[in-house]
Amino acid sequence: MKKHWLLILGLLVGILAGGLLSELFELIAPTSMVKEFLTKGVEWGIRPPVTVDLGAITFTIGFTVDFTIFSLLCVILIVYYFRWWIGGK
C-alpha cells in the first residue's frame, strides 16, 4: 500500500518536473514548430475557481493542471523507474 502512495507522489513530481522543463525550454528555445509542439499544453481542472463566502470566512477552491509533452515524458520515466524499483525489491 505504501508503494502505491509513492507511485502517486512520483506521478505528481513527474508532472511538476515536466512543467518546469517545458517552461525552461520555452525560454531557451528559438521560435519553431518543435518549440510549439513541446510546450503547448492541455489545461484541465476547475475553472473559474469556486468561492465560498461564509460571512466570517471566505475561501476559494480551484485546481488546474497544464499537461505538456515534457510532462508526459517525465511521467513515463517515473513509471519506468517505479516498475524497475518494484521489480528489484
Domain that holds residue 37: 2-48+63-88
Grid cell locating 77: 520515466
Stretch (H or E) spanning 67: strand 58-67
Total domains, the chain: 1
Q: What is the pLDDT of residue 47?
A: 82
Instruction: Tell me if 53 is assigned to some domain.
Output: no
Asked if the structure places residue 80 within a domain, the reply is yes
How far from chain centre, in Å, is Cα 80? 17
Alpha helices in 1-89 (DSSP H): 2-28, 33-39, 69-88
Amino acid found at 77 = L
User: 53-85: per-residue pLDDT in tens?
Assistant: 999 999 999 988 888 898 889 889 988 887 777
Does residue 29 lie within any of the structural domains?
yes
Q: How confident is the model at residue 1 (pLDDT cuts 50, 70, 90)?
A: low
Confirm whether 38 is domain-assigned. Answer: yes
Please state whether the predicted TM-score (pTM) of the whole model is above 0.75: no
Residue 57 lies in a domain: no
What is the DSSP pairing of strand 58-67 with strand 42-53? antiparallel
- Tens digits of per-residue pLDDT, 16-61? 888 899 999 989 988 888 888 888 888 888 888 899 999 999 999 9
